[in-house]
Amino acid sequence: MFWLIFLVFVILLCIYTYSIQYSRSNLPPGPYTIPILGSVLGMAILKKEEFRLTDIVKPKAYEFFHLGYKKYGGLYSVSCGKWMAVVIASYDILREVENMDEYSIKVSNELTTPRSMGKELGLIFAATPELWIEMRKFSQRTLRDFGFGKVSTFFY
């Protein structure tokens, strides 16, 4: 009976892992993802010359990101638990992405939604580029009307 339950658990875990890998098909390449651990184990395995258990328990993030840069290039994806992230490790790619309007959309997620109470509030939580640009112009105009940015405000 125990072996049957264990076998069902392993099969479900394999199906879940496959579904995670399949959902990453439109993302840049990255290390293998394991449920709960994310990409930590995959990045630790990249460090083959001296693999220690402390690399999983207490990883040095800069080493992991540098290993990912060497293996996958300037643009790769990692997962942190259930959240996926795209790492931009190249200055040229960062400049290219920064100048594109498609990437100016602010994402609402589980971290920002409770703070904004589900609404599009302020500059940071604006969901569309048009709203963000409008709020930015309003903020700049209002601050300028109150004297922000004038030379006389910096010198007493």
pLDDT tens-digit readout, 98-156: 777 666 555 556 665 666 666 656 556 566 677 778 888 888 898 888 877 776 655 55
Are the CB atoms for 30 and 24 separated by under 8 Å?
Answer: yes
**Does the structure show a pLDDT above 80 at 22?**
no
Instruction: Give 141 or 32, the one with higher predicted confidence.
Output: 141
Q: Which residues contact 17 (CB under 8 A, 6 or more apart)?
A: 33, 34, 35
Query: Which secondary structure element, helix H or strand E, spans residue 75, and what is its range?
Result: strand 75-80
pLDDT tens figures, 49-103: 555 656 555 556 777 788 888 888 888 888 877 778 888 888 888 888 877 766 6
- Identify the pLDDT of residue 36: 74
Mean pLDDT of the region 8-37: 78
pTM: 0.55
